[in-house]
Structure 1
């Protein structure tokens, strides 16, 4: 039986959840002995109402193949697979970015697979949230609530951040209630950590713990500079190494989700690697940062812009980049059709080229769940002929529970032909209730029912 989700009763860690911020409205001493006392309290009193608690609950569905020995024992009519459903609950944080529309940004991993999402505001209100869209590769999700008198955070230009800038983390660690910690920006452009597919993190030593995911990293003006998403925690707790998704990256993704209902990932069409000291020495250049281009795809955005094999891309829209991974993350979180200026080094000379990003022909596993909940966990791409190919299916995902397997090609929905991803999304938008997927598997056709 499904129980009603409540933030006030979500004592998942053995403590009642409260939403009162650590900073109170009590009078703050302005001076001690005639000298002013520095305090973050005035800024936080304006900022903390924009950071919310996010509580979720849902059901993980998994399938396990029944061994032949058991099927023989129970007879040939015994099921070939056993379906298991495991309920789950979770807590995280979120940031209000648009008070009028009620938009809230959080991490995709906070709400992934949730059937119900409840938002707790700092004034005690609890509201159900609607999922607008997600991007699993960058770990961003956009929610919406219907409420008045909300406070939103203004987004800063995260490309202006420097190592040493002060940073303040606001979130809901361990379900204790809203908590504020402070530190500095420890590094920029962190990648290659294996946390997400697209990595371009701000690193900070402001304490971030479990439950801070989706919360705000702000500057001393109370402006959003990043969304807290991960920590390095060898012992399970904070050790002063936390990571946040830059506000500019969040802004690009959110704008696409609001406009299109999904992320339309930009594609440059290059393969490459980080610039190493050996490569730099071999090419006779003195820079140690950038993305070395190994391959340029024919007829791609890079090819049309004149980017060549052996080029070293050192900046995007006038902002320096440290690595190929940072280049990849910046490009992939910009929308298709975006005009981008790339600074590069070719044969020792600096050049600038302009490219119009192409559009990805794939959808990620989480994005497939936005197309239809029972497709979540399937990675889709346009078929070389007609239809949509299932490239991957995550074990235990709704897509696996629906009966989809790697290599299936979706060619129809009910009686309507599906030619590509665009038509698949379009047809499913108009369908209500159960739908029948027409699948081509090897040399046979079959129907799978999505409920």
Structure 2
């Protein structure tokens, strides 16, 4: 009777082979035995040693600017500095056993003075942070030890909605915990979780402490790094998000080689293709990235992109919208060759572009206006993902600091004119006369700074 039951289970499992792929089925079949129920245990026994727990300690520094009038009245420094110690827990994934590379979320180790990695076998090792990308929320750590186990990477571009996945991490500091589910959606963006979003959505239970942990396929390959959840009370409601493994690998390779991310830049402005735009322009597609403007002398212009083009795929992988395009381009390194499938006036074309280096757009703000002296500007984006000009560096007590600008501010408008790039800001300021009102995004808040 038990043998017949097992045969039925195997037959049912084979019916789902089209969902999880032939290779996954082949890998999963040994989990069935004559006297054992179906199980993921054999795969997890090999995979779980590649997932680590991370404990951090550090000091949170907060600065509060003191208004000029109170400084003059009381005397003392221009800002008040407060330091507060903190501790935190998270998860990480070993991606290279020989080099001791561990990937986690940047928010897990940000501002940490001490990072301790605890392996599945109980060993505790001090880790060094090699670099990070705050916009995507990825950090690369290094540990020195023998007998490490790395999780092999999957090609996340091949994932499909409905594929089975397993999440492994350290929720609430409990230690290694495994949950399972499916891929609920791909290419999720516009969630205001980070600056660059192209998430895998899953219903595998992800909770606080799972950040930086592994999302793996049934054959034990890493498909994503668990990053965030959507939950009104901070707990799991079946909507979790992971950074795709291909995006993570591109960033980690740049950090390992250069010590930083050398972000690619295409040089276009645009928006999502939706039903309204598709109907208005009589398009034959209902999703993709609509190109509204091609910036002069950019990679896009050199490659032949034109306003009105609709980009439908990147390197052969279909595209849902403009935010997804921006995330994919930004995480590819400067100098990368990218193939874009484009719909132009009803005809399909393939265009090859070589991405610019986003850092080449960094300028000293004093070149644009005397009141901005002391600020360094670069093309950037707000927390919501809108394009703008970011204050990447700010000299204390400089003219720019005195008018109220802060490092990390994003200029999105001047005198009610939209600003998307450094070049646009320069052109607007060249023509501006009299009072100038800057529309600033600071975190999730909006403010205006007026100079006369």
Fold match (TM-score > 0.5): yes
Match in the other structure for 2:376: 390
**Deviation at 1:66?**
5.3
Offset from partner CA, 1:99-139 (integer Å, 9 cap, x none): 00000000001111111111000111111111101000000
2:212 to 211, 214, 220: 214
TM-score normalised by structure 2 residue count: 0.74
In structure 2, the CA distance between the partners of 1:347 and 1:77, relative to structure 1 (3 Å rule), is closer
**Deviation at 1:38?**
1.2
Contact persistence 1:92–1:214 (CA under 8 A) = yes
In structure 2, the CA distance between the partners of 1:306 and 1:219, relative to structure 1 (3 Å rule), is same
**Deviation at 1:30?**
5.5
In structure 2, the CA distance between the partners of 1:65 and 1:273, relative to structure 1 (3 Å rule), is closer
Contact persistence 1:230–1:242 (CA under 8 A) = yes
Match in the other structure for 1:45: 45
Offset from partner CA, 1:122-169 (integer Å, 9 cap, x none): 111111111101000000000000111000010000000000000100
Distance in 2, matches of 1:80 and 1:336, equals 39
In structure 2, the CA distance between the partners of 1:246 and 1:71, relative to structure 1 (3 Å rule), is closer
Distance in 2, matches of 1:197 and 1:208, equals 21
Match in the other structure for 2:389: none
Distance in 2, matches of 1:137 and 1:268, equals 17
Contact persistence 1:391–1:407 (CA under 8 A) = no
After alignment, is 231-240 or 383-392 more displaced?
A: 383-392
Match in the other structure for 2:343: 345
Correspondence 1:62 to 2:43: no
Match in the other structure for 1:255: 253
Offset from partner CA, 1:326-352 (integer Å, 9 cap, x none): 111110000000000000100011001
**Deviation at 1:68?**
8.4
Unaligned runs of 5+ in 1: 1-27, 364-380, 409-451
1:203 to 187, 193, 201: 201
Q: How many residues in Structure 1 have an aligned counterpart in Structure 2?
A: 356
In structure 2, the CA distance between the partners of 1:348 and 1:405, relative to structure 1 (3 Å rule), is farther
Match in the other structure for 1:136: 134
After alignment, is 279-288 or 175-184 more displaced?
A: 279-288
In structure 2, the CA distance between the partners of 1:257 and 1:71, relative to structure 1 (3 Å rule), is closer
Offset from partner CA, 1:147-200 (integer Å, 9 cap, x none): 110000100000000000001000000000110000000000000000011000
Match in the other structure for 2:294: 296
Offset from partner CA, 1:20-54 (integer Å, 9 cap, x none): xxxxxxxx9954xx575210100000000000011
1:361 to 359, 362, 368: 359
Distance in 2, matches of 1:113 and 1:360, equals 25
* Greater helix content: 2
Contact persistence 1:390–1:406 (CA under 8 A) = no
**Deviation at 1:390?**
3.1
Distance in 2, matches of 1:139 and 1:133, equals 11
Match in the other structure for 1:224: 222
**Deviation at 1:65?**
4.4
Within a 5 Å distance, the mapping from 1:39-438 to structure 2 comes to 39-65=39-65, 78-361=76-359, 381-383=362-364, 389-391=375-377, 403=396, 407=400
In structure 2, the CA distance between the partners of 1:402 and 1:213, relative to structure 1 (3 Å rule), is farther
**Deviation at 1:69?**
9.4
**Deviation at 1:209?**
0.2
**Deviation at 1:61?**
1.4
In structure 2, the CA distance between the partners of 1:29 and 1:270, relative to structure 1 (3 Å rule), is closer
**Deviation at 1:287?**
1.5
**Deviation at 1:63?**
2.5
Distance in 2, matches of 1:346 and 1:71, equals 59
Q: Which has the higher contact order (CA 8 A, sep 6+)?
A: 1
In structure 2, the CA distance between the partners of 1:405 and 1:209, relative to structure 1 (3 Å rule), is farther
In structure 2, the CA distance between the partners of 1:300 and 1:127, relative to structure 1 (3 Å rule), is same
Please give the secondary structure, in 2, of the residue aligned with 1:361.
helix
Match in the other structure for 1:442: none
Contact persistence 2:365–2:376 (CA under 8 A) = no
Distance in 1, matches of 2:329 and 2:31, equals 48
**Deviation at 1:76?**
5.2
**Deviation at 1:80?**
4.8
Offset from partner CA, 1:352-377 (integer Å, 9 cap, x none): 100000001279xxxxxxxxxxxxxx
Please give the secondary structure, in 2, of the residue aligned with 1:278.
helix
Please give the secondary structure, in 1, of the residue aligned with 2:190.
coil
Distance in 2, matches of 1:400 and 1:308, equals 33
Unaligned runs of 5+ in 2: 1-29, 368-372, 383-391, 402-452
In structure 2, the CA distance between the partners of 1:384 and 1:167, relative to structure 1 (3 Å rule), is same
